[in-house]
Amino acid sequence: MNTTHTGTDHAQGEQLQLVSFCVNNEQYAVDILRVQEINRMLEITQVPQSPPGVEGVINLRGRIIPIMDLRVRFGMPKGERTDESRIVVVEAGGAIVGFIVDKVHEVLRIARSTVDPAPAMSSTVESRYIDGVAKLDDRLIILLDLDALLAEQALPEATTARLAA
């Protein structure tokens, strides 16, 4: 994983430190402070009657963590797992949840001034899950709002899946 620094701390104002990753050829990022760890794919135990997008649970050093496939959560076609697929373990809404992503890119430090509010239809992801869009030199990165992503059904059901395991 690379660390990219864009802009200078003092000249650009407040800095955001983000973990960027790819899902279905689109780049996303989340605040690094919300990321607990990034793991290679682990064996996922399926939980009967899990909601769409919840793949199951993993045992991570004695902790049972629900795992969501971001492709399915975003309404995208389910992708094939590769050697680059990762589970990004995050804290959201007081719970610990893992997200399956296609590839983790890098840790970015960007100026908050490079982030615009999410347009109404900025990607295949529903705009309510988007915190903003970062404009970097040659690309756009969608900043996810983890709390919104898990606020609806996903978090209570994922937590229930964790408890049922």
Residue listed under structure tokens 């960007």: 110
Distance, CA of 76 to CA of 124 (rounded, Å): 8
pLDDT in tens, 63-93: 999 999 988 888 888 888 999 999 999 998 7
Q: How many of the other CB atoms lie within 10 Å of CB of 137?
A: 6
Domain ranges of the chain: 2-164
Task: Let me know: does 49 contact 160? Beta carbons within 8 Å.
Answer: no
Distance, CA of 105 to CA of 113 (rounded, Å): 22
Low-confidence ranges of the chain (pLDDT < 50): 3, 5-12, 122-123, 153-165
Class of domain 2-164: mainly beta
CA 119 to chain centre: 19
